Amino acid sequence: MDEFNFKSLESLANELKDGVLKLNSGDLKTDDIQYLLDSSRQLHERLAVLQYLAEKHTLNSNKSPDVLNDETNKVEKNQINLIDVIVEEEAKTEKVDVIDQKNLKSINDIHSTSPQTSLADQFGQQPILDLSKEIGINEKYLITENLFSGDNDAYLESINELNNFENIDQANNYLNKTLLKKYSWNSKSNHFKRLNILVQRRYHN
């Protein structure tokens, strides 16, 4: 999916809702999973940016208007659309059956014996072939700003290294020892946790 083809939050939420309805009715084909995965990733990124800027606005409440305007311009340059619509969060995550990988015809054959998991959990377990392609423009902006102090070259170099190790042990060693110490990251921060999850999925078999 084109990273610059931004959709409103309402549109992304509706796509996921329609996908869940098709899944529950047995009409969702396995070919549609990747499309829903892309929509889920975009929605996560957009909400993450909103959360980040809301927190940053609180911290910057005492800054001058000129400083706040400058930060707003930086966000606009990264083409982050922040004012879309308010998405009403559902009270409970809808549960769906785990996909039987041996049965690729239709998902309606798996409702009987498989344990249930949420649609978001299914997407979160999908392997990643390329970190640079999985991390969208919004999430890249957040990771670069919070983990690499805005240094895009440092971000690109580190992601390239994390993307090309032979196994998960090498990747974890580089992430948790080399990068963590080099940039004095807080291992409990949401941004580090998110990057760690992406790395685990990159080497998930």
How many domains does the chain contain in total?
2
Among 106, 125, 144, the domain-final residue is 125
Same domain, 108 and 157: no
145 shares a domain with 98: no
Residue 179 has pLDDT above 90, yes or no: yes
Average pLDDT (149-168) is 96
What's residue 51's pLDDT?
Answer: 76
Q: Is the pLDDT of residue 72 over 60?
A: no
What integer pLDDT is reported at residue 74 of this predicted model? 52
Backbone angles phi, psi at 152, to 5 degrees: -65, -35
Let me know whether 88 and 54 are in one domain. yes
Q: Are 107 and 142 in the same domain?
A: no
Rg (C-alpha) for the chain, rounded Å, is 19
Asked if 87 and 153 sit in the same domain, the reply is no
Tens-digit pLDDT profile for residues 33-70: 777 777 777 777 777 777 777 776 666 665 555 655 55
Tell whether 83 and 137 lie within a shared domain: no
113-120 CB contacts, 8 Å cutoff, 24+ apart: 118/93, 118/94, 119/16, 119/19, 119/20, 119/23, 119/36, 119/40, 119/93, 119/94, 120/40, 120/93
Examine the pLDDT at 200 and tell me if it is beyond 50: yes
* Residue-range definition of the domain harbouring residue 121: 1-125
**Of the ranges 32-41, 85-94, 106-115, which one carries the lowest mean pLDDT score?**
85-94
Over range 171-200, report the average pLDDT. 95
Write down the pLDDT at residue 108.
47
The pTM score is 0.47
Instruction: Supply the pLDDT for residue 22.
Output: 75
HSE (CB half, 13 Å, CA atoms) of 21?
Answer: 6
Q: Looking at the structure, tell me whether residues 121 and 131 fall in a common domain.
A: no
Residues in the chain: 205
Say whether both 54 and 144 belong to one domain.
no
Q: Are 33 and 101 in contact (CB under 8 A)?
A: no
194: pLDDT strictly greater than 80: yes
Residue 203 in this model has a pLDDT that exceeds 80: yes
Residues 115 and 146 reside in one and the same domain: no
- State which of 100, 125, 150 marks the end of a domain: 125
Q: How many CB atoms lie within 10 A of CB 39?
A: 21
